[in-house]
Amino acid sequence: MLQPQETMDALETTAPIVTGTALAMFLYDVAEEIQLEELRQRLGAQTVQRGVAKHPAPEYVGFEHPPVVEYLSKVCTFGAVPLDVQFKYYDYGVVSVMFELPFSDTWDGLIQLAGKWMFESELERKALEVVRERIEPARPAMVRPYGNWLSEDYYVFHLREAAGSATAAELLRQHGGQIAMIVRGETADLSDAEKTEVLQSSVSYYPTDLVVIGWNGALIYDTPAGARAAIQILEYANSQLLEFRHYDDLLTRELNNVYRSLKRRGGLRAQWRLAREASRLEATTVEVTELVERTDNAIKFLSDMFAARLYRLAAGKVGVPDYKNLVNQKLHTAEELYGYMTEEFHQGRTFLLELMVVIILVIELFYLFRGKG
């Protein structure tokens, strides 16, 4: 039989000491553009609210065209627990499905939940079903919808309360190893080097808030109002990654077509084909450049450098700068190829004109000497 002190120790071991919400977001690139005003009228949906500033400021995170958001009924469960579902439409053609699961557990229990939550294939399957269902009524508002959708997924664990950890520094000191496991979705202990790598990507504004960002997941320790803006920034960074992946694929296909065309040389037909390929490449380059600028400018960070810093950290961890650099390199290659192809076409046309002039002169000389003979 347990003594009173042993009973208290057992209760402290098993009592829920972390409370919050697990989020799973699935993003899909479904169209070149979604006309949000038309969509709002069709769906009667609302726009996403602004994030809450970490300090008083007239504006914080502002979308140039705020996404349209729908809150869906219980369409999915995790185990026996029904999930809240949020569906979002971005003007640059991305849609997002976010599942929300409340939790109240021990740290070990949260580690086990993270391991299941981040690798639950049923969530991904259900997210795709939701997208296919919601896309149909939205289709008239979509510009150039895609047949194949690129996708990204990301997982966030929002801690509202953590017993015994009033500050971010205490939370990292007492539970840094467990936080690293949660962010990675691992249920086995990580090496010291891996823990250090994960926890280096952390940021705080007040002593009592913390964001730890990984490439596939993040942990947020904050109030619901404070966490909302961080979640919004994480979602936006992943939507940017999705867009730059799409531009990278588009440019790769276009450049491969150009390389194949350049191998098929010879003849007048090949010259005119080169001109058509050059025009198409230029049109694609202009289109992608415009889309990249629109994606980059979709969100503004006004009067809050912390939000901008948080975005840079999130974008770097998920790989936005890497794909953006790839896109910019391919745009540069496309511009050089366009110049080369245009020069080749003009040289070919000049040669053809000169050849025609020579032929005309030969014909004239032929008739001239024939008349004298």
pLDDT tens per residue, range 201-224: 999 999 999 999 999 999 999 999
Same domain, 217 and 242: no
Same domain, 174 and 255: no
Same domain, 216 and 259: no
For 15, which DSSP code? S
Q: What type of residue sits at position 12?
A: E
Which pLDDT band holds residue 285 (cuts at 50, 70, 90)? confident
Give pLDDT tens digits for 21-38: 999 999 999 999 999 999
In a domain, 9, yes or no: no
Beta strands in the chain (DSSP E): 18-34, 46-47, 61-63, 68-72, 77-78, 81-82, 84-89, 94-105, 142-162, 202-203, 210-213, 217-221, 299-301
Cα–Cα distances (Å) from 124 to 70, 76, 151, 269, in that order, read 19, 11, 10, 49
DSSP string of 46-85? Answer: EEPPPPPPSS--S--EEESSPPEEEEE-S--EETTEE-EE
> How many Cβ atoms from other residues are within 10 Å of residue 192's Cβ?
10
Mean pLDDT for the stretch of residues 168-174: 92
Higher pLDDT, 285 or 203: 203
In a domain, 52, yes or no: yes
Give pLDDT tens digits for 43-94: 865 554 444 444 433 344 567 788 999 988 767 788 788 899 999 999 999 9
pLDDT for residue 139:
92
For 139, which DSSP code? G
Among 191, 223, 255, identify where a domain stops.
Answer: 223
Are 181 and 113 in contact by the 8 Å Cβ rule? The answer is: no
In a domain, 109, yes or no: yes
Residue range of the domain that includes 246: 238-366
Give pLDDT tens digits for 129-158: 999 999 998 999 999 999 999 999 999 999
Coil, strand or helix at 264 = coil
Degrees to nearest 5, angle at CA 266 with 263 and 270: 80
Report whether pLDDT(200) > 80: yes
pLDDT for residue 339:
65
C-alpha to C-alpha distance for 212 and 330, rounded to whole angstroms: 33
Same domain, 209 and 247: no
